[in-house]
């Protein structure tokens, strides 16, 4: 992969995080403050209570700036991104069922919001913008996944609208379920374990899993590597959802309730079509864009993938063991 350069290094940089008070945003801000010595971090979100709570939690660090704003508001984003070196775009509506029930809200935040971030970054010549995507964007069967697929395309194509001098570059990261994040099944199962009854959608269901710490570190690594246009995918383990219940309370009742609207049995992170223009690297895959702006001759290609290769949660080589699951869930509080 390309060497780490000063444009990707976060030391002394001004970083803006959309959705900065969410699960990822909070962990990302903490990591930057602790280990990367940024000049300033602009926490951009629309919830003043969460901003107040984060400010109290972090103890008033002088490098933090709390900006109220919505990614739907392009003018506010243009103000917020002036003088910024790096944008990490984490703001989104993420709950599958909520997006199904409120489709236009999901479109405005996840699609129009991504377009607004790209527009603001181009206007202010922000050198690096990295957008967070999801496995649900691949062959989407629900509105949330469809909006995130659109967001990926908008972010990638943003490189075509930036100047030829490369003063604004855009890439995405795509990963699976974050263990213990808001909406994760793990806190729910921990609460149900206390009651002795688990509600299972389908016993065959598998998922990719990544910890919050791993997600944060992967994003930071991709910020260093990105040239603009890639979709980065970490190589992460799979888990059978039913194995969580086994690890928590093997004797508890399991009640099958059927899959919810827009839910898959197995997840996909890399399709066979995408693998034709992707490479395998140590710890991750990178999908290369198929557009004229892509400087393929200057970029290491990684190991070529075999024809028809796909990366799905049920054909993964890496699986969490029962011990891994018990250690994982021990660090997560039950849902209240």
Residue 177's pLDDT is 84
Write down the catalytic residue from 13, 94, 136, 264. Answer: 136
Q: At what angle do helices 322-330 and 185-195 cross, to 10 degrees?
A: 90
Residue 17's pLDDT is 98
Q: pTM for this structure?
A: 0.91
Strand partners, 173: 132, 232
Tell me whether residue 136 is one of the annotated catalytic residues.
Answer: yes
Domain spans of the chain, in order of start: 14-176+210-236+268-311
With a cut of 70, which residues of the chain have pLDDT below it?
Answer: 1-8, 163-166, 180-184, 295-298, 333, 335-336
Predicted confidence (pLDDT) per residue in 203-223, tens digit: 899 999 898 999 999 999 999
Residue 296's pLDDT is 61
Residue 1's pLDDT is 35
Rounded-to-integer distance, Cα 212 and Cα 178, Å: 6
Predicted confidence (pLDDT) per residue in 38-79, tens digit: 999 999 999 999 999 999 999 889 999 999 999 999 999 999
**245: closest CA among 325, 183, 320, 317?**
325
Task: Give the CATH architecture of domain 14-176+210-236+268-311.
Answer: 3-Layer(aba) Sandwich (3.40)
Sign, CA torsion 231/162/120/100: negative
Residue 7's pLDDT is 41
């Amino acid at each position: 992969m390309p060497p780490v350069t000063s444009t990707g290094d976060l030391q002394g940089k001004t970083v803006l995080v959309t959705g900065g008070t969410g699960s990822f945003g909070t962990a990302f801000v903490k990591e930057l403050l602790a280990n990367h010595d940024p000049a300033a971090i602009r926490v951009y979100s629309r919830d003043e209570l969460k901003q107040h709570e984060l400010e109290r939690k972090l103890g008033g660090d002088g490098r933090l700036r709390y900006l109220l704003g919505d990614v739907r508001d392009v003018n506010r984003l243009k103000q917020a991104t002036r003088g910024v070196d790096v944008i990490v775009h984490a703001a989104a509506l993420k709950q599958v069922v909520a997006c199904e029930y409120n489709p236009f809200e999901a479109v405005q935040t996840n699609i129009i919001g991504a377009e607004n971030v790209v527009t603001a970054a181009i206007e202010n010549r922000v050198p690096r913008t990295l957008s967070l995507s999801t496995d649900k964007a691949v062959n989407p069967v629900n509105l949330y996944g469809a909006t995130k697929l659109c967001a990926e395309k908008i972010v990638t194509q943003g490189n075509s609208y930036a100047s030829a001098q490369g003063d604004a570059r855009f890439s995405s990261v795509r990963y699976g379920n974050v263990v213990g994040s808001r909406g994760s099944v793990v806190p729910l199962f921990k609460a149900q374990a206390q009651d002795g009854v688990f509600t299972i959608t389908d016993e065959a269901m598998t998922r990719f899993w990544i910890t919050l710490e791993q997600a944060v570190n992967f994003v930071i690594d991709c910020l260093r590597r990105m040239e603009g246009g890639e979709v980065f995918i970490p190589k992460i383990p799979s888990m059978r959802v039913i194995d969580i219940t086994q690890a928590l309370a093997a004797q508890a009742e399991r009640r099958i309730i059927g899959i919810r609207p827009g839910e898959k049995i197995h997840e996909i992170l890399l399709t066979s079509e995408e693998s034709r223009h992707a490479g395998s690297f140590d710890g991750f895959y990178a999908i290369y864009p198929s557009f004229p702006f892509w400087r393929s001759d200057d970029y290491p290609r990684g190991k070529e993938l075999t024809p028809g290769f796909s990366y799905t949660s049920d054909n993964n080589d890496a699986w969490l063991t029962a011990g891994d699951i018990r250690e994982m869930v021990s660090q997560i509080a039950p849902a209240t």
